[in-house]
Amino acid sequence: MNANDRKILVVGGGMSGLTAALEAAESGAQVIIAEKEPYLGGRVAQLHRYFPKLCPPTCGLEINFRRIRENPNITFYTMAEVTQVSGSAGNFDVTVTVRPRYVNDRCVACDACAQACPAWRSNDFNYGLDKTKAIYLPYDMAFPQKYVIDASACQEDCGQKCAEACQYDAIDLNMQPQTLNFQVGSIILAGGWDLYDISKVDYLGFGTVKNVITNMQMERLAASNGPTGGKILRPSDNQPPKKVAFVQCAGSRDENHLPYCSYICCMASLKQATYLREQDPEAEIYIFYIDLRTPGRYEQFMWKVRDDEGVKLIRGKVAKVEQEPGTDNVTVTAEDTLGGGKIKMTFDMVVLAVGMVPSTKAKPFPLPLSYTPEGFIIPELLPEGIVAVGTLKNPLDVMKSNEDATGAALKSLISLSRR
Amino acid sequence: MAIEERKYGAYLCKGCGIGAALNFEELAKVIRKDGKIQHIREHDVLCSPEGLAMIQEDLKPEGEGINCLLIAACSPRTKYQEFDFPNVLVERVNLRELVAWTQEPNHPETQALAEDYCRMGAARIKKADLPEPYQTECDKTILVVGGGVTGLTAALEAANNGYQVVLVEKEAQLGGYAAKLYKATPSSYPYTSLQDPPVHALIAEVQAHPLIRVLTNTTIVQSEGEPGLLDVTVNTNGTEETIRIGSVVLATGFRPYDATKLSHLGYGLSPDVVTNFEFEELAKKGKIVRPSDGKAPESVAFIQCAGSRDPEHLPYCSDFCCLTSLKQALYVRQSNPEATAMILYKDIRTPGQTELFYKEVQSDPGVMLTKAEVTGVELAPGAKLRVKAKDTLLGANVAFEADMVVLATGLVPTTLDDPILNLTYRQGPGLPETENVRQPMTIPLAMEDARGAAMKAIQALEHVAAGVAVHPRAWDETFPDPFMQRCTQCKRCTEECPFGAIDEDEKGTPYFKINRCRRCGTCMGACPERIINFNDFSVDIIGSMLKSLDVPEIEDEDDPEAPFRFIGLVCENDAYPALDAAGWHRLRLNPYIRFIPLRCLGSFNLVWVSDALSRGIDGMILLACKSGEDYQCHFAKGSELAEYRLSKLSETLDKLGLEADRVQLVTVQISDFDRLPKILDDFVARVREIGPNPFKEF
């Protein structure tokens, strides 16, 4: 036995990673979290509300952050990526590279630096719907509450205005990448998912047709801390859309793109229909779907939305999304698989229910693991001591990812105790 | 651990605009005079290494020996590592988010607000103490109820982690429904071929495991006690035995929906209309044949959602039936390559990568799938069955003939009509211990869920052993410590505890099962005698904070800036972070309200209203989480109970000649920072309309 026997590395600080880390730490293990973004919380932090109870996800995150604050067994690193792994169960040797934040622990989040900064960057937290300064807090509830500099957005000739404005010596423009080494007994992979690059599905018009947005952009538009302060406005003219279409299976269930079902998109669109209906009782919503997939008890949520007279569920595969000539409106053409023939309708805005891609698709873990062609980890083939969680294995919703993460914490504890 | 000789120190931070917004000399005077803390120090940036070094110096026993720290700086949600000092009592006063960032700098009301927060902080630290964990003896045996795939997995995972497990199954055999399967749907990539059910290997592993005791033919007669100390009486073939258990995983799973209720889909019409469970048995026997004449069917129709997704039957989707019918369609094809299978569905639900299996089955030319609303099943000539349907992909009204009809029957949780655990003690509206009989799910998901449940069962034990609460306050070492001599047996605490942690003995005296307690403080709010308290959270602590406020006289009540005073009681997990966020966004918050975070609004005790109003405070606003069906309270019932208590209060206030509107509850979500200014202003405006508290002059 050595000290590493009770140590676990969790790769990814989103909801699954946090859950796995907390469950293990609250059972007595020493846990290190490595998160690649400058904040914890992952995709969940970007959601306006969860289905089916329609509560804000920051509420659940707040509890988890409190659990982290109160738990001496957890250490976390943001902007951190695992770059090398060697060894085996019980004795992994892990190298973690921490990108420079250019802001140190003295930061008090007073915002003086951002006010002084002259440079702007596209806001990735809001999926490019607005801009932040080159020095910024990722979002208002960010944990840790610490600013960060996007060096690629810096104006080199600005005369270090941020450093000048900071009264707390918190800015260190010479900060270098850091390399950390850890010995751990087991590793939990919780890298989560990315949104499929939907511009690859050219007939859906994303990036070329005005007022075609993704479901994750819709989450940001509806969020009080989003680019529009929670008012859902269409991008071209900042007007509230009256008539909105949701296109299901955007990328998913498509041999040319994602051959699998992304699990969450049906519930997500039904949920987003409620955002629009709540904002504008006159709004008309059309959801074009192949099969409505609301498994288990989610069925009742579907019934509730279906029974809203402002929401129309149309069984039809969307074939084309185009700009209506001469306007900013969007025309959707769908095959009516039930009635036969074609449906052609024009909308103020179109939301693409874009599917999920495991983060390991773009960036495999630095250890030879077995993946499906779509980048999902095949859990049966993982080496001893390594556990994968949630959407790295299969598309899942938050609730089931959490259940999975809780189980993963146990699996990883078992792999420690067997040694 | 009680602090013996208390030495107080107050540390004021001038950073982040606090120093520029306030008069620190006056603030220090208030802390000295009203807060009765004489050792006061200031720093430009208290959280900096230099500021912290100053505090550390004062903590040294050979120096000042301070052991009770009042830190007036930013929100307690930030700089938590910096201001964490072991074995020292720390009280954070939020002068940044709640004052400097949300108020007009150097305004008299801003100064008054900061001074009140310091008074409240001082009042609190005087009464609070460090926690001493509640520890009892704790048995670490885990009881798993149900020997199906979920229970087997949970038992195995817990045992593999070193815990003793007792596995109870009411049938003679382990395995449940999973053991009755001929084949399982694919659970791993490439999701194309049927698998042997995983349950047989699990059974063998469980039976061979030295830490697992398997009791088949066994039911639970009763369970009493609390986690760590449960006495569970089981009956095995007529013999009773009582076993000491630490925690329980309930994994009794499901049973099929009663198919006799599905006569509208032809069940009972002919022996050749069977459920998917019956069809599985046929497949397991070998070649698939018709029950009526023993002939191999040439065509089999599967009717999906038989009972499921139907408000008349099961108001949910049973999750597994689409995959099961796809699998059984393959049985038909493999049993007789000339036979055809037709699946009639509302929606095909093959989430995630199981879509790949759907595609695989779809590519079989002998399997036909169509969306359809089945309108009936009838007998047809030639010993056939006719399935009538509308709204199909093949036409509006069609009929199909088949040799056999399989009803894809849904699931019902076993807990629906059988309490299973037969708990002798009171159960709250919350769930008992760990539970995974919550929703329909497929085998792979059920197995994942089983691991999670085992983990929670283990944690429940370990936390009981360490004297710490379980989720969501999994760090909390405090516990309710009632002063029983003054208990009047009114039973409000026992009835209102959302977790059933308070029972009554034969005489009707409440009995606290601390190991079931989640530390929300609902009992503390319920108790009219105010005898239920925590080490660092009590009726007296909050009451003392309320009473510490400076309540100025109102000279001209029509002056819109007359110094009215209000208390805001807020949920510390949701409304309080929303207030902090309003600070980061630099929104202006109403300066007349002083906020006090509560563990949960369930801990709201009505005595605080009279404490506040009798002191001349003009009103009270409660910022609570959503209650009702889609409640957002982490303790399930807290905000609902606060509302309930408030409804009782209105009459009392009326009798005292006080207006009910002085005390209001508003639902606030954590993301509602932008709504807060208006909510608070509207509340204050309403009370200003009513006028100042008439008790002010007394």
Domains and CATH numbers, chain B: 1-130 (3.40.50.960), 142-255+414-465 (3.50.50.60), 258-409 (3.50.50.60), 537-698 (3.40.50)
CATH 1.10.1740.10 fits A3-99+177-194+357-417, yes or no: no
Tell me how far CA of residue B272 lies from CA of B218, B308, B381, B405, B406, in angstroms: 35, 21, 14, 6, 8
State whether B189 and A378 contact (CB < 8 Å).
yes
Reported ipTM: 0.96
* Alpha carbon B38 to chain centroid, angstroms: 43
Question: Which residue matches tokens 């990526």?
Answer: A81
Query: How far apart, in Å, are the Cα atoms of B558 and each of B174, B405, B555, B634, B681?
Result: 77, 80, 9, 41, 16
Flag whether residue A382 sits within 8 Å of chain B, measured between CB atoms. Answer: no
- Burial call B127-166: b when 16+ CB within 10 Å, e when fewer: bbbbbeebeeebbbbbbbbbbbbbbbbbbbbbbbbebbbb
Inter-residue contact A54 to B630 (CB < 8 Å): yes
> Cα A380 to chain center, whole Å?
26
Interchain CB distance below 8 Å, B669 and A297: no
**Whether A336 contacts chain B with CB within 8 A:** no
CATH number of A197-354: 3.50.50.60
Residue B663 near residue B609, CB atoms below 8 Å: yes
B513 contacts B469 by C-beta, under 8 angstroms: no
**Using the beta-carbon criterion (under 8 Å), do B45 and A106 form an inter-chain contact?**
yes
**Do B355 and A140 make contact, defined as CB atoms within 8 angstroms?**
no
Give the separation between CA A8 and CA A182, rounded to whole angstroms.
10
CA B341, B345, B350 angle in degrees (round to 5)?
95
- A299 and B348 within 8 Å at the Cβ level: the answer is no
User: What is the pLDDT, as a whole number, of residue B442?
Assistant: 77
CB atoms within 10 A of CB B10: 27
Q: Average pLDDT per run of 10 along chain B, which is 698 residues long?
A: 90 98 98 98 98 98 96 97 96 98 98 98 97 92 94 95 96 94 95 94 97 97 91 96 94 91 97 97 94 96 97 94 98 96 97 97 97 96 95 84 97 76 53 46 81 91 92 94 95 93 92 94 97 97 97 93 97 98 98 98 96 95 95 94 92 84 97 98 97 82
User: Which chain A residues in 169-198 lie under 8 Å from chain B, judged by CB atoms?
Assistant: 169
Q: How far is B574 from chain A, CA to nearest CA, in Å?
A: 6
Beta bridge partners of residue B224, listed in sequence order: B231
3-state SS assignment for residue B153: helix
Distance from CA of B288 to the nearest CA of A (A): 30
Interface contact flag, B673 A298, Cβ < 8 Å: no
What is chain B's mean pLDDT, rounded? 93
Q: Would you give the distance in Å from CA B145 to the centre of its chain?
A: 22
> Residue ranges of chain A with pLDDT lower than 70?
1-5, 417-419
Residue A75 in contact with partner chain B when CB distance is under 8 A:
no
* Cα A375 from Cα A396, distance rounded (Å): 15
Interface membership of A327 toward B (CB under 8 Å): no
- Quote the pLDDT of residue B436: 36
Identify whether the C-beta of residue A321 lies closer than 8 Å to the C-beta of residue A332: yes
> What is the helix (H) or strand (E) element at residue A311, kind and residue range?
strand A311-323
Half-sphere exposure of A48 (CA within 13 A, CB side): 27
For the stretch B425-434, pLDDT in tens is 554 433 333 3
Half-sphere exposure of B658 (CA within 13 A, CB side): 26
Q: Which among A140, A261, A303 has CB closest to B585? A: A140
Contacts of A230 in chain B (CB under 8 A): 674
Least CB-CB distance to B16: which of A110, A225, A338? A110
Interface of A with B in 49-68 (CB under 8 A): 52-56, 58-59, 62-63, 66-67
Kindly determine whether residue A260 and residue B671, on different chains, have CB atoms separated by under 8 Å: no
User: Where are the CATH 3.50.50.60 domain residues in chain A?
Assistant: 3-99+177-194+357-417, 197-354
Cα atoms in the 13 Å half-sphere on the side-chain side of B490: 13
Interface test mutation site (partner B, options A403, A416, A419, max chain B beta carbons within 10 A) = A403
- A176 with A100: CB under 8 angstroms? yes
B431 CB-near residues (< 8 Å, 6+ apart): none
B570's enclosing H/E stretch is strand B566-571
A299 in contact with chain B, both atoms CB, cutoff 8 A:
yes
B387-424 per-position pLDDT tens digit = 999 988 777 889 999 999 999 999 998 876 666 666 66
Structure tokens, B547: 């009473």
Inter-chain touch B671–A224, beta carbons under 8 Å: yes
Length of chain B, in residues: 698
Q: Indicate the SS3 state at residue A128.
A: coil
**How many contacts, defined by CB atoms under 8 Å, are there between A and B?**
210
Residues of A in contact with B348 (CB under 8 A): 291
B96 DSSP 8-state letter: I
- The pLDDT score that the predictor gives to residue B434 is 38
Interchain pair B78, A400: CB under 8 A: no
pLDDT of residue A105: 97
Residue A223, number of CB atoms within 10 A of its CB:
25
Interface contact B188-A380, CB threshold 8 A: yes
Q: Mark yes or no for CB contact A292/B17 under 8 Å.
A: no
Beta bridge partners of B344: B303, B370
Task: Answer whether A260 touches B (CB < 8 Å).
Answer: yes
Residues 272-291 of A with CB under 8 A from B: 291
Dist CA A21 CA A71 (whole Å): 11
Query: What's the Cα-to-Cα distance from B531 to each of B483, B484, B544, B569, B603, rounded to whole Å?
Result: 5, 7, 15, 20, 13
Give the pLDDT confidence score for residue B430 in this predicted structure: 31
* Whether B321 contacts B354, CB under 8 Å: no
**Nearest-CA distance from B462 to chain A in Å?**
7
Q: Pick the residue of B163, B211, B317 with the most A CBs within 10 A to test the interface with A by mutation.
A: B317
Compute the nearest-CA separation of B205 from chain A (Å): 16
Residue B93 in tokens: 């006063």
Helices (H), B104-182: 108-127, 149-160
CB contact under 8 A, A407 and B157: yes
DSSP type of residue A371: B
Do B375 and B344 meet the contact criterion of CB atoms below 8 Å apart?
no
Q: Does A168 touch chain B (CB under 8 A)?
A: yes
* pLDDT at site B444: 79
Chain B residues with CB-CB distance to A46 below 8 A: none
Residue A338's pLDDT is 75
CB < 8 Å to A23, chain B: 455, 459
How does pLDDT run across A341-383, given as a tens digit for each residue? 899 999 999 999 999 999 999 999 999 999 999 999 999 999 9
